Amino acid sequence: MVPPTIIIVTDDPSRDNKTACSLAGADFIFEKATEDHKMINTVRLLYCMCPTARLEALDFPIATLDE
């Protein structure tokens, strides 16, 4: 069984907020306004690392607002 990965997407990039999220168990913390591509790439990488993942699904692009 693979443990869950906790990803936080926030509008508050302050150090206090990032520290609180990290202490609460977050594995990744992304700023909503500026790190959308970084978040998508991280999710794709995590998906590829999953032993039961179907790689064919990676052929479909994920749309973002700025595309």
Mean pLDDT by 10 residues, the chain (67 residues): 85 91 94 90 84 56 50
The type of residue at 9 is V
In the prediction, which pLDDT does 29 show? 94
pLDDT at residue 67, rounded to an integer: 44
Q: Is the dihedral of CA 42, 47, 62, 10 positive or negative?
A: negative
Residue 21 has a pLDDT of: 92
pLDDT at res. 51: 66
**pLDDT recorded at residue 59:** 53
Give the per-residue pLDDT at 46.
86
